Amino acid sequence: DAGVTQSPTHLIKTRGQHVTLRCSPISGHKSVSWYQQVLGQGPQFIFQYYEKEERGRGNFPDRFSARQFPNYSSELNVNALLLGDSALYLCASSRDAQETQYFGPGTRLLVL
Amino acid sequence: SQKIEQNSEALNIQEGKTATLTCNYTNYSPAYLQWYRQDPGRGPVFLLLIRENEKEKRKERLKVTFDTTLKQSLFHITASQPADSATYLCALPYGGGFKTIFGAGTRLFVKA
């Protein structure tokens, strides 16, 4: 079975721009979570979606938003990019909202 | 707020020895705790989950303990190999299990 996939793998944007990151979960998984990982730190929780509804939100500004589609894939949107948004963005899927998460390879975002 | 602490310094050990990594948490009573492995530039990979009513869990050369009184988990790799060199992350659920907090990780180097 295919694992979690994310696109694009790398992205370069400038300050003030908007970005959309995409994630396809493992087949049969209904929950998707998004994380931001800065070099040298652990992943920081951004959102969890289950059955197309937001179930958890981390301590991130409103510039960050997400949604989950009927096929359980998900998008993470970040508006008005700042230099500090440069990071590895990870998507993880799980069968249920409170089960073990399986991570994708991540999207590396660089904001100039 | 919940806080997780892992050995901030890298751990260097000789091949064949046992590596022991520590995860301490505060202000919290999690129902379970997870350990992940992360290689540079890649997403974390799930290794083990231990529940609050379990003292110890094993999987091949891996062993995890969970002391809810000390608020600590220990992660052991026996007969370590150079291929075990990676960053190891511990993670706890919070917010009703719909959010996850990760430690900063401990970098392990196994020398041949």
Count the Cβ atoms, other than its own, within 10 Å of residue A56.
Answer: 21
Q: What is the pLDDT of residue B24?
A: 96
**pLDDT tens per residue, range B51-92:** 999 989 999 999 999 999 999 999 999 999 999 999 999 999
Domain CATH for A52: 2.60.40.10
The one-digit pLDDT tens for each residue of chain A (112 residues) are 689 999 999 999 999 999 999 999 999 999 999 999 999 899 999 999 999 999 999 999 999 999 999 999 999 999 999 999 999 999 999 988 777 899 999 999 999 9
A43, B42: Cβ pair inside 8 Å? no
Residues 6+ apart with CB under 8 A from A92: A4, A32, A33, A34, A35, A101, A102, A103, A104, B43
Ranges of H-type helices in chain A: none
Domain holding A75, by residue range, is 5-111
Residue B52 to residues A66, B35, B63, B70, B81, Cα–Cα distance (Å): 32, 14, 15, 12, 30
Q: Where are the domains of chain B?
A: 3-111
Q: What is the number of domains present in chain A?
A: 1
Q: By CA distance, what is B102's nearest residue in A?
A: A42
Res B6 pLDDT > 90: yes
B40–A contact, CB cutoff 8 A = no
Architecture of domain B3-111: Sandwich (2.60)
Stretch 75-94 of chain B: residues touching chain A, C-beta under 8 Å: 89, 91, 93
